[in-house]
Amino acid sequence: MTIPFGILHQQWGLRADSDADLLRETLEDVVLAGELGFASFLFGEHHFQSPAPFAGRVPVPELVIARAAADTDRIQLGTGVKVLPLDAAWRTAEAMLTLDLVTGGRAVFGLGAGGDEPDVFRGRRLGPNGHRALFRETLTELLDLLRTQGSSTFARPLGPAREGADLCERILVAARDVDTITLAGREGLGFVVGQAEVARTQAGYVDTFRATGCTGEVRAVRIVVVAADDERALEVARAPYDVYSSHFLTSRYYLSTVAPQFDGPLPRDYTDGLTRMAFVVGGPETVAARLEAERRTIGADRMDVLVHLPGLAARERRESMRLFATEVAPMAAALAA
């Protein structure tokens, strides 16, 4: 049985973690997620190793998706999110068409603008919001290619294609700026808000998206740690919280966007920090209630969870996944009914 929740994996690892071990554990977790009934498993895209205590390790998630497709047969697999402006639209279109074939129609495509770091954009000077303008330009061309199979831009169709596939229906746009959110809505795409902002801020993005009249799916992501009870969950979450907060609470994004919504730039204590970073931590009942409250506040159609945290042991992560699928998901579904 499929549960109405997916998993987002940002491919984060500690500096000392082996890339090979991380990839092996990830592929094992995709299989486990499929067995537990999670609806989807999406992979983040990250480039260049940062000096932070942890970093995303996989720059080409499409390769991991193709590998994972061989070990699974029902769970959707996708990008969460692909940095669209880094590639030509026709290259992305062909990659999407190929993944659709490889996965047997299970591929989902989360697309975003990425940051504005010069290294990522090969030294191009894009200006303060240039990466977002480039994203909109590339997305518009991509949609045209997928919808017309190249007739308006190329003399020959793109390939390979699976007959009857409409990949535009499986695109989720990640964005915070009005122009990009409005474009996604006008084009009838899906929309996703990530794990890093509080619900009341994300509700504004969703309102902007819905104001276009679009009825596409809206997903929201939360970092989730589930254990047998609240006390145990707080214990389990402490080590990954310390690692994650050591970077997030000093980031430009946090200081400019999240911190102004709270009293003072830094958390008063552990509990305040969990709130600021939108962690959902607790026993099954607590997590179910929190997730449903977050979903309602944001205005999302469904919630996905990020359970892979740097510093969280594999056994604790997998126990969290099992508890979520067997106990949290049914409780959350009952609350949403």
Least confident residue range of 51-55, 127-131, 324-328? 127-131
What pLDDT was estimated at residue 68? 98
Question: What's the confidence (pLDDT) of residue 77?
Answer: 98
**Residue from 93, 108, 111 nearest 161 by CA:** 93
Instruction: Average the pLDDT over 147-168 and give the result.
Output: 71
What pLDDT sits at residue 126?
Answer: 61
Does residue 48 lie in a domain region? yes
State how far the Cα of 319 lies from the Cα of 50, in Å rounded to an integer: 29
| Cross-strand bridge partners of residue 230 | none
The token pair that represents 300 in the structure block: 């999302």
Mean pLDDT of 252-266: 88
The H-or-E segment that residue 78 falls in is strand 76-83
Distance, CA of 31 to CA of 71 (rounded, Å): 7
Q: Smallest Cα–Cα separation from 168: which of 193, 132, 139?
A: 139
**Amino acid symbol at 235:** E
Q: What's the pLDDT at 155?
A: 57
pTM: 0.94
Q: Are 7 and 331 in contact (CB under 8 A)?
A: no
pLDDT tens per residue across span 13-29: 998 899 999 999 999 99
The pLDDT value given to residue 327: 98
- Domain presence at residue 166: yes
Work out the pLDDT band at 114, boundaries 50, 70, 90.
confident
Q: How many CB atoms lie within 10 A of CB 76?
A: 19
Which pLDDT value is given to residue 124?
60
Q: At a CB cut-off of 8 Å and minimum separation 6, what does 291 contact? A: 222, 224, 280, 303, 305, 328, 332
Domain assignment present for 173 = yes
- Strands 54-56 and 12-14: what pairing? antiparallel
Give me the pLDDT at residue 76, please.
Answer: 98
In Å, how far are 100, 109, 127, 264, 265 from 105, measured between CA atoms? 5, 12, 38, 48, 45
Write down the pLDDT at residue 148. 81
Residue 2 placed within a domain: no
DSSP 3-state assignment of 25?
Answer: helix
Question: Cα 44–45–51 angle (5° rounding)?
Answer: 105
β-bridge mates for residue 306, sequence order:
223
3-state SS, 211-279, equals: CCCCCCCEEEEEEEEECCCHHHHHHHHHHHHHHHHHHHCCCHHHHHHHHHHCCCCCCCCHHHHHHHCCE
Helix axis angle for 178-186 and 199-210, nearest 10°, is: 50
Domain that holds residue 278: 7-336
- Flag whether pLDDT at 156 surpasses 70: no
Q: Is residue 115 part of a domain?
A: yes
Mean pLDDT of the chain: 92
- 240 pLDDT exceeds 60? yes
Q: 53: pLDDT confidence band, cut at 50, 70 and 90?
A: confident
Give the model's pLDDT for residue 302.
97
How far, in Å, CA of 262 to CA of 200, rounded? 12
- 257 falls within a domain: yes
Q: Could you write out the DSSP letters of every residue in 134-146?
A: HHHHHHHHHHHHH
Query: Residue 224: is its pLDDT beyond 60?
Result: yes
Beta bridge partners of 118: none
Q: Which of 85, 204, 80 is nearest to 136 (CA)?
A: 85
Number of domains in the chain: 1
198 within domain boundaries: yes
Quote the pLDDT of residue 249.
Answer: 92
Residue 77 counted as domain residue: yes
Across 56-82, average pLDDT: 96
CATH number at residue 90: 3.20.20.30
